[in-house]
Chains A and B, each alone.
Chain A
Amino acid sequence: MIRPLLDWLDDRTGYRKLTREALYENIPGGSRWRYVWGSTLTFAIVVQFVTGVALWFGYSASAQTAWESIFYLETQVPGGWLLRGIHHYTAQLMVPLLLLHLMQVVIDGAYRAPRELNFWFGLGLLGLTLGLSLTGYLLPWDQKGFWATKVATNLMASVPFIGGTLQKLVIGGSEYGHHTLTRFFALHAGVLPAALVLFIAGHIALFRKHGITARRPLRRPDAKFWPDQVLKDAIACVAVAGTVLALVWWRRGAELGAPANPAEAYSAARPDWYFMALFQLLKFQDWFQQHLPGGGLLWCVILIPGAIAAFLLLMPLLGLRKAGHFCNLAGLWVGLGFYGAFTAMAYWHDLGDPKFAPQYAASVALEHREAARVKYLATKHGVPPEGALALLRDDALTQAPKLFAAKCASCHSYDGGDGLGRPLADTQTAAELKGWGRREWLRMFMDPAQIVTGRVWGGTAFVHPPLGKSRSSMVDYVLEEIPKFTPGQQAMLERVILAVSAEAALPAQRAADTRDAALIEQGRKDFGPDGLNCADCHEFRGEGGGKGCDLTGWGSRDWTIGITHNPADKRFYGRRNDRMPAFGEKGELSRPQIEMLADWLRGTVE
């Protein structure tokens, strides 16, 4: 039944002859492990095509949807993380496999006549693979891919004469955006794979035409490709697949960073590891600038990589003579040595060198924090049509520390730092604001040992008045009255602290405020003439008042926004305000920015 059908097919196509030729190719000296590299690469390319097309089914190439569609794939589509992980780590593994294949070909002399053309096909495949890596790196549109690609495409502009035009063509204009993604995607999923298929067809056809270059001396009798060599190839492919899966498992899939943000430079953006040597070379640009004619960039981007490419292309011609072959081998080993050394140097700078590593680590940590945050927000609220970046833009937990570092940290500290966890650049002149609104903060403020320190008012005119002015009476009170308090008055002070802190209505203190409701009620009375006479200066819940701030609603969202808007308002410091700018009134901070700062300081952001 089957037989006549296959005969018919064979009559029309001649498939039997083709498969026989494909499978029963003679291998002089028998199958060997050193011949497996080409097959592992073919396997890797098949995996990349299969997984790549499947990723294509769910990917959307635009600046508002690229990151978002990948996040959806990773979190909402079962197996999505595995699919993308396999694609990512197979790409990673292809580079060492390509190097191994190249080494084997050169060491065995398989690149010499009549196989030059095939060697050049192979080099073309190497270039195409690197091009696929480079274009694929941008597609998730995360900070790492965005900033690394920005550098790569700016380097492209250094190509003499046509660089600028080339760059514009590749990124689709002078700005990075929708067209950068659509173009990179067309290159990554269309142009480069099509070219790859053509080159592979040529590469394999020529390989079959000339046959395998057997390693001499032949140690065993000849064998056939099927099944002897195929078995070894299959084992190698299983090893490759296993390595990929192990990497995917170990790294929990491929990384997806925070969405690309052109306004937020990511200084720790690096190319993929196999480009790190070239990345490192750029750090020597200045050396080339100083010592060689033509400009440093020309050397680093054009001449040196160009010389390496030229050397590889000329190898088959050089290798015609025995001395040339040794020259090629030496060049290859030296080149690999440099490649390894530069790669290692690049990683040492980032991870170990005390001069660069802390900055790198801080940048990576910030990016990881934002990546985690945006994923949390996207899961909780969904991604708005403007894209996931808008979630971070409107997020107090992300923006407030940056605003604090930029606008507040020249005077205030947050947890002893600048809000982003970095040490303060200037000497602190105003209060520590971590725990703003909490009982602990007020206890610190009312502590005679602390009020004159930099943590509270130590750097202000309230403690060190300008010539001819007097110290703030609040400071006098804390320094002179409180140490003399009787135990009864100390208890009153503690209740007043509870009462004033309750004004902040902090979610974190809600339980404590409810528990201490009676004490708080008593504290409100202690605030007045029957207690500590705070109301002589401070207005509180509609009573009393004088020189001091109105403490009604102290530490609440409204109060915190108000004092940031204009501290010289009579509700706050009035004319006695010492240097704190009216951030809102002067337009230094927008209303939403002040709200984000207040929410973050009060710890109400989820």
Chain B
Amino acid sequence: MSPDSAPPDATPRREFLKSAACVALGGCALAAPVGAVVVVLSHPMHSKGTPQPVKLTSLAALPLHGPPRFYQVVAERRDAWTKFPANAIGAVFLQRVGESEVVAFNASCPHLGCAVEFRTERGCFYCPCHDSEFARNGDVRGQSPSRRGLDTLPVEVREGGEVWVVFENFKTGVAEKISLA
């Protein structure tokens, strides 16, 4: 057969119906596997984290109006199929701004999530990835790429001066503080 000749057929209508049936049946046969794949692979779109209060330190460890202190947040965590009794879930800076008043910043940069440091000599927070700078109160400073200041986290000072922080992460790269939980 010459590859250029059209397929000989007397009844194009019949031929068209057959072709359409082929496509429809092929779709039917693949529908379930492809459907299952799409549903399973899109599962992460519906899963969310849960903010949880974590005990970090006590007031005694935070000098009044002292420099921000860095704390790793270690908490019980369900990572997909495993439940870890103590898993590092993030980091925060704590500053004691009053007798029993503590401010907490999520230590991840609101720009793109790098780890922010506190520069004692300049008295500000600094992100070494893309040069974002934040004042001690968390506000963006100077020509920073970050669209918003550092993300504050709710702090509870409980009995005995225990400092608890409700840890959660936020959407990066935008001006609004949008919870990912």
- Residues in chain A within 8 A of chain B (CB atoms): 17, 20-21, 24, 26, 43, 46-47, 50-51, 54, 57-58, 60, 65, 68-69, 71-73, 76-80, 82-83, 86, 90, 224, 226-228, 230-231, 234-235, 237-238, 240-241, 244-245, 381-385
Contact = CB atoms under 8 A, between A and B. Distances in A.
A97 to B, nearest CB: 14
A238 B28 contact: yes
A141 to B, nearest CB: 12
Rank and list the top 3 A-B pairs by shortest CB-CB distance, nearest first: A382-B83, A79-B39, A234-B25
B142 interface: no
Contacts of B37: 50-51, 54, 83
B40 A230 contact: no
Nearest to A228: B18
Interface in B2-29: 3-4, 7, 15, 18-19, 21-22, 25-26, 28-29
A231 B22 contact: yes
Contacts of B39: 78-79, 82-83
Given A50-B37, A234-B25, A383-B81, 16 more contacts: A24-B7, A50-B34, A51-B33, A51-B37, A72-B80, A82-B32, A82-B39, A231-B22, A234-B21, A234-B22, A237-B25, A244-B32, A382-B83, A383-B83, A384-B82, A384-B85
B40 A77 contact: yes
B32 A86 contact: yes
B81 A20 contact: no
B15 A227 contact: yes
Contacts of A82: 32, 36, 39
22 contacts: A20-B3, A24-B3, A24-B7, A50-B33, A58-B40, A80-B40, A82-B32, A82-B39, A83-B33, A83-B39, A86-B32, A90-B33, A226-B19, A226-B22, A227-B21, A234-B29, A237-B25, A237-B26, A240-B29, A245-B32, A382-B82, A384-B85
A228 B18 CA distance: 7
A61 to B, nearest CB: 13
Contacts of A241: 28-33
Interface string B69-96: 0000000001011111100000000000
Nearest to A68: B81
A12 to B, nearest CB: 17
B84 A385 contact: yes
Nearest to A237: B29
Contacts of B80: 69, 72, 76
Given A68-B82, A86-B32, A385-B82, A238 B25 contact: yes
Contact of B40 (A57, A65, A228): A57
A230 B81 CA distance: 44
Choose among B32, B37, B81 the residue with the greatest number of A CB atoms under 10 Å from its CB. Answer: B81
Contacts of B32: 82, 86, 241, 244-245
A317 B3 CA distance: 34
B177 to A, nearest CB: 29
A240 B36 CA distance: 17
A47 B28 CA distance: 13
Nearest to B78: A382
Contacts of B31: 241
A335 B156 CA distance: 76
Contacts of B36: 51, 54, 79, 82-83, 86
Given A224-B7, A228-B18, A54 B82 contact: no
Interface in B101-115: none
Contacts of A381: 83
B156 to A, nearest CB: 26
Nearest to A69: B81
B122 interface: no
Contacts of A383: 81-83
B36 to A, nearest CB: 4
Contacts of A21: 3
Interface in B32-67: 32-37, 39-41, 43, 46
Nearest to A18: B3
Choose among B19, B32, B35, B83 the residue with the greatest number of A CB atoms under 10 Å from its CB. Answer: B32
Contacts of A227: 15, 18-19, 21-22
A199 to B, nearest CB: 22
B22 A238 contact: no
Contacts of B18: 227-228, 231
B119 to A, nearest CB: 37
A51 B32 CA distance: 10
B25 to A, nearest CB: 4
A33 to B, nearest CB: 15
Nearest to A64: B82
A238 B83 CA distance: 42
Nearest to B46: A78
A309 B20 CA distance: 42
B49 to A, nearest CB: 15
A71 B40 contact: no
Contacts of A43: 29
A245 B1 CA distance: 40
